[in-house]
Structure 1
Amino acid sequence: MVPPPVDKRDFSHLAAIIILLLKIWTTRSCAGVSGKSVLLYDLVFICRYLDLFLHHVSIYNTIMKVIYLVSTTVTLYFIYFKFKTTYDRNHDSFRIELLILPTLALAFVWNHDFSVFEILWTFSIYLESVAILPQLYMVSKTGEAETITSHYLFALGIYRFFYILNWIYRYYMEDYLDWISIVSGVIQTVLYCDFFYLYITKVLRGRKMRLRENI
């Protein structure tokens, strides 16, 4: 199965990446950012776009894939090398192998076709659904999130919400149903529910997001 072309909904995901890059570059700091979440997203894009030069969909599609890969890798470079002294390793302590191994195993069990590219693509879908957990875990440990980090998380969450709306539309208009993408997308959106509430009730009202008072 060839992944569907990137469309305009992906601009919310691109916006999230740009927000994070600008936050790191302008503040010269990675404080509050989970390098592990960024690493998981980079792994997601690498596995999903391994066929980048094998299956040409459109120039737009290719450009967007390259932008995702390059921008996420640059973010990793900022976190682990250029601004590594500002990276909070103590709070970014989520064990990502607990996410990678189960999602990889599930990709071997539940996929559309038992082939290398298909399994890697399926793995990327499953992993993406939980890739934000290290960032959310880090926020829960520190008890708060900077406003710009909150915007980054919101952009990531709304990106997946838009995809759920797209799946509903395609089901009614095209009778198309992909349970792998749907289930993964729903799980990812559910993980954001509490964050969405705090974002709307606090950040949009000009207040800093704090979690400990809600625990």
Structure 2
Amino acid sequence: MKLIYLGSAFSIIWYIRHHKLVRRSYDKDQDTFPCYFLILISFALAVFVHEKLTFKEVMWTFSLYLEAVAILPQLVLLQRTRNIDNLTGQYIFLLGSYRALYILNWIYRYLSEQRSIHWITWVSGVIQTLLYADFFYYYIQSWRKNVKLELPA
């Protein structure tokens, strides 16, 4: 399942960068979010806030922290441009739904299995879901009113 997830993620990146129709819709002037900032903060946090100091554990924690905030550049860009087509809105909604359902899976596993789930996983998953919450609100409002999705500036 992870290979399907990674394959679809890489194919989306390929389409955004190389597909002639999709590539033309990219506006580099609007996309100014400092992504390196998220990477540095996530890495520093992983080095200082982890369960045990091993390379594998720190890298795993880094990936969780980075995954939690990786949607921020996209959300900022959508809010800045206020141009959200149906496909983009549905994609972001489904990404957030995936994370919310993942949390339900963690709750189920916590209640049904004897082993515990790392607190870092819980915290990063909840933070990521909360980042999507504002988008969910406006997505559902636009769907209910049958109007174009627009985020407030």
Tell me the distance in 2 between the aligned counterparts of 1:81 and 1:159: 26
Q: Offset at 1:113?
A: 3.2
Q: 72, 75, 79: which is aligned to 2:12?
A: 75
Q: Structure 1: which amino acid aligns with 2:49?
A: W
Unaligned runs of 5+ in 2: none
Whose RCO is larger (CA < 8 A, sep 6+)?
Answer: 1
Matched residue SS, 2:10: helix
Q: Offset at 1:204?
A: 4.8
Which residue of structure 1 aligns with residue 143 of structure 2? 203
Tell me the distance in 1 between the aligned counterparts of 2:106 and 2:19: 40
Q: Determine if contact 1:147/1:203 at 8 Å carries over to the other structure.
A: no
Which residue of structure 2 aligns with residue 29 of structure 1? none
* 1:86 and 2:47 are equivalent in the alignment: no
Q: Structure 1: which amino acid aligns with 2:151?
A: L
Tell me the distance in 1 between the aligned counterparts of 2:4 and 2:107: 28
Which residue of structure 2 aligns with residue 23 of structure 1? none
Q: Offset at 1:206?
A: 3.0
Q: Determine if contact 2:135/2:151 at 8 Å carries over to the other structure.
A: no
Q: 98, 122, 132: which is aligned to 1:192?
A: 132
Q: Offset at 1:199?
A: 1.1
Tell me the distance in 2 between the aligned counterparts of 1:211 and 1:156: 17
Tell me the distance in 1 between the aligned counterparts of 2:4 and 2:78: 27
Of stretches 122-131 and 164-173 in structure 1, the one that deviates more from structure 2 is 164-173
**Normalized against structure 2, the TM-score is what?**
0.87
Question: Which runs of 4 or more aligned residues in structure 1 lie more than 6 Å from their structure 2 counterparts after TM superposition?
Answer: none
Q: Determine if contact 1:144/1:208 at 8 Å carries over to the other structure.
A: no
Q: Structure 2: which amino acid aligns with 1:187?
A: I
Identity of aligned residues (%): 46
Q: Determine if contact 1:154/1:196 at 8 Å carries over to the other structure.
A: yes
Matched residue SS, 2:61: helix
Unaligned runs of 5+ in 1: 1-63
Q: Offset at 1:90?
A: 1.4
* 1:65 and 2:2 are equivalent in the alignment: yes
Q: Offset at 1:197?
A: 0.9
Q: 145, 148, 154: which is aligned to 2:87?
A: 148
Q: Deviations over 1:62-111 (max 9, x none)?
A: xx222222322222222223333332111121110110001011111222
Q: Offset at 1:205?
A: 4.3
**Normalized against structure 1, the TM-score is what?**
0.64
- Superposition map of 1:1-215 within 5 A: 64-83=1-20, 84-174=23-113, 176-212=116-152, 215=153
Q: Offset at 1:150?
A: 0.8
Tell me the distance in 2 between the aligned counterparts of 1:191 and 1:70: 24
